[in-house]
Amino acid sequence: MNTNSAHISKKPLSTKGIFSLTPFTLLDYPHKTACIVWFAGCNMRCLYCYNPDIVLGKGKIDFDSVLAFLKTRKGLLDGVVLSGGECTLHKNIIDFIKEIKTMGFAVKIDTNGSNPKILNSLIHDQLIDYVALDYKSLPHTFKKLTQSGLFSEFEESLSLLIQSNIPFEVRTTFHSSLISENDFIKMIEYLETKNFEGNYYVQHFMNNVPTLSKLDHSNKEIRFKNFSTPKIKVIFRE
């Protein structure tokens, strides 16, 4: 399917689903210049979440305003990152992405994997070019960490991505009070049972920043150990 000629819905995109816009980044889309669209709202309440204002807040910017901005960035940016919050929850997200694609931008989504139905549609219609999938924890700690019961949805999203041809990464935020080293090893083993191969990115919790829940200081010793396997390379990000 040629997404540049995708049918564009005439549904209004005036809904204010967007919290804020970062006009330029070199860090959030591998090997591309991009902007970041931060969607308000989320269906998880992760204890370590760095974006409480976005997760708990309401949208301030409508889709049409972002599209108008993107028109001024043709030829200047390679891609658009849709983050949040949880971007797949918002109505008209598919039509919004179709509009972005017609402008020639590559699209990356950051997702917690809780909406496999939308993810499947985006993959099937070739509307996304890269996915960063948040892997919160294993089932026995997932509900406490995320304040949700959405592990099976995450699992389905992971399987969809593994079976697709879409470039994607799996990433985890590590806090020593929430995920033990033994649990972390089991998280890697879980990925192997799902036939995941490639880079597994781990970002250590940043101490002394505002989060959804007040947490103890996180020990960073784990980053000095090698957890890679023959099929999975574990990479710690600062």
> In the predicted model, what is the mean pLDDT of the chain?
93
**In sequence order, what DSSP letters do the residues of 167-207 get, joined into one string?**
-EEEEEEE-TTTS-HHHHHHHHHHHHHTT--EEEEEEE--T
Q: How far is CA 72 from the centre of its chain?
A: 25
Which class is domain 15-237? Answer: alpha beta
Domain ranges of the chain: 15-237
84-125 pLDDT per residue, tens:
999 999 989 999 999 999 999 999 999 999 999 999 999 999
8-42 pLDDT per residue, tens:
444 557 789 999 999 999 999 999 999 999 999 99
43-87 pLDDT per residue, tens:
999 999 999 999 999 999 999 999 999 999 999 999 999 999 999
- Please list the residues that pair with 81 across neighbouring strands: 36, 108
209-231 pLDDT per residue, tens:
889 998 999 998 999 999 999 99
Residue 66: exposure state from Cβ atoms within 10 A (0-12, 13-18, ≥19): buried
Question: Residue 106: its pLDDT value, please?
Answer: 98
Alpha-carbon dihedral 83, 27, 137, 195, rounded to 10 degrees: 100
